[in-house]
Amino acid sequence: MLEAYDLGRFPLSDVLAEQRRYLDVEAGYTTVLMRAYDARTAVARAFGEIP
């Protein structure tokens, strides 16, 4: 996207919108990883594997 912007194919607003979408996806992925970790920890705690 940045290369296309450099070549004049996309306006800066499109580049910024794509970067925003990418950051939103990263934030969502991080949230999902945190929830999965919390779930695994809760299961381990329920089985007494974690004091």
In this structure, what token pair is assigned to residue 25? 């996806």
Structure tokens belonging to residue 2: 């940045």
Q: Which two tokens stand for residue 45?
A: 């705690």
- Predicted TM-score (pTM) of the model is 0.72
pLDDT of residue 51: 72
Segment 2-25 mean pLDDT: 94
Nearest 5°: the CA angle 28, 29, 32 is: 90
> Does the pLDDT of residue 31 top 90, yes or no?
yes
Annotated domain spans of the chain: 2-46
